[in-house]
Structure 1
Amino acid sequence: MSKQIPYDKEELAAWVRLVLTPGIGIRTAHKMLVAYGLPQNIFMASYQELQRIVSPQIADAICAPLSETIREQIGKTERWLDEPGNTILTLADSRYPGSLLEIPDPPLMLYVKGRVELLSKPSIAIVGSRNATAQGCIDAEKFGCSLSDAGLTIISGLALGIDAAAHRGGLKGSGSTVAVIGTGADIIYPARNRELAHQIAREGCIVSEFPLGTGPLASNFPRRNRVISGLSGGILVVEAAARSGSLITARTAIDQGRDVFAIPGSIHSPLSRGCHALIRQGAKLVETSQDILEELKHYNPVANSQADRREPESAALTEDIVSRIGFDPVDTDTLCERCRLDAATLNVELLKLELAGEIECLPGGLYRRLVSSV
């Protein structure tokens, strides 16, 4: 957990007020900060001075008395900051991630739960469909784990499907994970990821640019996506339909000068079409995590893979069963014959393989091997 650093209440109040003043967007705020340096100076400026930079309507809003709504939000933010592990980074903070300063519209404030230092570590985003296939989730988790073990922090958006799998993989590796969310930092969305979010807050980092109490509005998520790509050295799209939000993130990454990678899939799968479109547009086709590491120049091979840590006899039996299952569905009677095992022994090994994500149980008691691309 990051060390709590004392904050200036007046300075914090001015930043919150700047963000919440009606009519002030990020670009207008940046223009005023360039002119006045800090938010406190903006609110001390005269109406006549402000009119030289912003419209009369915005000047009126800045000079208006502090509203009760903003006053309450300032109090809520102060109480949130007093909780262990919570931090706010403003554009004036030396800990504000440098990669975000490179994008055209960096957030004025970042609400952070967990390890602030992860925001400035070498990282890669992994994104994809909320309605992912079992294979897609396996790929996302394994790529996340492998890239995390190579020293990269895994960035994603805490959505269901690919995002959640990527976070789980990142947590398993040494690089950990950062969840960029589209709500206030005091709200977990979707609720099904509550346990995962708590784990990320403990072992990784959750970050939001939205004021506390902000709900999951549809307009928030494109804004969130630019932060996901902005924090990252590159972005990997695992599965995406032809009109997927992940493609918006990828296009934003391209605009920000980030590398874009995509995993190909079946020509018959709707969730492969987005990835194939990106590849046609110049994204790098990847089959293994090393394809990404070599491109990003962060290659650091993992000394011990999960397979290497198995007991030798168990590993040999497991590999033999996997090789005999193949990628076409097969029933247990056929597998008993292929593997020369009794049904009880085989069922124990099949359960282990299914829990490890190496095979998939299909309706009718059939099993199929899942592709491991990492």
Structure 2
Amino acid sequence: MSPAELEARLRLHLLPELGPRRLHRLLEAFPDASSALSAPASAWRALGLPDACAQARRTAEIRDRAAAALAWSERPGHHLIMRDTQAYPDLLAELDDAPPVLFVAGAPELLQRPQLAMVGSRRASHYGLDIATAFSRSLASAGFVIGSGLALGIDGAAHQGALDVGGRTVAVLGTGLQCIYPQRHRKLAQRIIDGGGALLSELPLDCQPLAANFPRRNRLISGMALGVLVVEASPSSGSLITARLAAEQGREVYAVPGSIHHPGARGCHHLIRQGATLVETVGDILEGLRGWQQVVPTTSGVLRQSPLLRQLAAAPASAETLSIQLARPLSDVLAELTELEISGQAACEQGQWTIRRL
């Protein structure tokens, strides 16, 4: 794609009131973005496009912001991915409102790899954070890219869990890539890039945090994934929006149950009543995605002699009991237990973990 055509697309993308569907309609009506940009305002009106779009396209502000985006894309590790190019993620391209442009910092090739999304409450409990971390570690170890939204709580635990085991994770932002939000996760965002992951946004680079953009962001989290796991969520949580979008997009929806006394479990229980798959172990997810499973072949050999496995050989125990017996954080114990389950060396029945004799 020529620099002139790329600049024209960026200028169109920056126009107010010109969302993905309208921009797609515009590009279908003209040979290229440059032609659309120079067409008379009457042609835009004939397509049902707002006058504000036609009026803003020639302003200095739009030209300057497009030039800044081009300059950004020329730096190492920065990428602009157009919807009609091979680098665009296949699953996302299926959506009617797929973004015309993706801004990516980090490794764009991850967008084509099998991905699972994990979302949940920003005010998660310690239990929820432990579960999210453990599931993320195990799923990343099984070869999946972990997708989430860089928010506080479950999102952050999902990203961190993947990084803990050298896995890959993609953070989808509800802001521009030059406006990392929340500020507390700026270092996490950099660790994701440094760890071989990626940050992604459909929004202009300088877009600030706006409440309306986060539900819009959620359709990308689900749209790039084979399935979405909700770990902990209240009935009003934005995570339920992500789950609903996933179902509408034909993706799998998974939910972790919790205590009936914990408000953060009610959203997950609602999803289960609506047909989401109840998840107690990583195996519940891998069973439905067996064709995508890429378990690391060295896992079982490493775990076979672990202290945790020796403890299980002595007697069945809950994860909480094992945490106390081994004086290890519950999140670490849960992560290793799920890896043992993936490798076929352990199983969980009614909350008690047992060894499988090989």
TM-score class normalised by the smaller sequence: 0.7 to 0.9
**Which residues in structure 2 correspond to 1:58-137 (within 5 Å)?**
61-62=53-54, 66-137=58-129
Q: Deviations over 1:307-350 (max 9, x none)?
A: 94486568747998995995699xxxxx8xxx7xxxxxxxxx63
The 8 Å contact of residues 130 and 330 in structure 2, kept in 1 or not, is answered as no
1:368 aligned residue? none
Whole-Å separation in 2 of the counterparts to 1:263 and 1:208: 28
Q: Deviations over 1:21-72 (max 9, x none)?
A: 23322221111112114321211223343332124625xx426662121122
Q: Give 2:20's match in structure 1, choosing from 6, 16, 26.
A: 26
1:332 aligned residue? none
Q: Report deviation, 1:357.
A: 3.8
2:7 aligned residue? 13
185-194 or 113-122, which moves further after superposition? 185-194
Give identity over the alignment, percent. 42
* SS of alignment partner, residue 137 of structure 1: helix
1:236 aligns with 2:211: no
Q: Report deviation, 1:166.
A: 0.8
Given the superposition, is the C-alpha separation of residues 23 and 258 from structure 1 closer, same or farther in structure 2, using an over 3 Å criterion?
same
What letter matches 1:39 in structure 2? A
1:190 aligned residue? 182
Q: Deviations over 1:212-234 (max 9, x none)?
A: 11111111100100000001111
2:342 aligned residue? none
| Structure 1 residues without counterparts, runs of 5 or longer | 1-6, 330-334, 340-348, 360-370
Given the superposition, is the C-alpha separation of residues 312 and 288 from structure 1 closer, same or farther in structure 2, using an over 3 Å criterion?
closer
Q: Give 1:43's match in structure 2, choosing from 32, 37, 49.
A: 37
Q: Report deviation, 1:243.
A: 0.9
Given the superposition, is the C-alpha separation of residues 51 and 326 from structure 1 closer, same or farther in structure 2, using an over 3 Å criterion?
closer
TM-score, normalised relative to structure 1: 0.81
1:269 aligns with 2:244: no
The 8 Å contact of residues 43 and 63 in structure 1, kept in 2 or not, is answered as no
Given the superposition, is the C-alpha separation of residues 325 and 231 from structure 1 closer, same or farther in structure 2, using an over 3 Å criterion?
closer
Whole-Å separation in 1 of the counterparts to 2:22 and 2:270: 35
Q: Give 1:52's match in structure 2, choosing from 46, 50, 67.
A: 46
1:164 aligns with 2:139: no
What letter matches 2:127 in structure 1? Q
1:215 aligns with 2:190: no
TM-score, normalised relative to structure 2: 0.84
1:354 aligned residue? 329
Whole-Å separation in 2 of the counterparts to 1:253 and 1:191: 28
* SS of alignment partner, residue 329 of structure 2: helix
Q: Report deviation, 1:281.
A: 0.2
Given the superposition, is the C-alpha separation of residues 30 and 65 from structure 1 closer, same or farther in structure 2, using an over 3 Å criterion?
closer
The 8 Å contact of residues 150 and 174 in structure 1, kept in 2 or not, is answered as no
What letter matches 2:121 in structure 1? S
247-256 or 162-171, which moves further after superposition? 162-171
**Which residues in structure 2 correspond to 1:333-348 (within 5 Å)?**
none
Q: Report deviation, 1:247.
A: 0.2
1:143 aligned residue? 135
Whole-Å separation in 2 of the counterparts to 1:223 and 1:235: 16
Whole-Å separation in 2 of the counterparts to 1:239 and 1:65: 43
What letter matches 2:34 in structure 1? Q
Q: Report deviation, 1:354.
A: 2.7
1:345 aligned residue? none
Q: Report deviation, 1:258.
A: 0.8
188-197 or 311-320, which moves further after superposition? 311-320
Whole-Å separation in 1 of the counterparts to 2:205 and 2:82: 15
What letter matches 1:289 in structure 2? V
* SS of alignment partner, residue 165 of structure 1: helix
What's the Cα RMSD here? 3.0
Q: Report deviation, 1:303.
A: 3.9
What letter matches 1:107 in structure 2? P
Whole-Å separation in 2 of the counterparts to 1:72 and 1:321: 67
1:288 aligned residue? 281
226-235 or 85-94, which moves further after superposition? 85-94
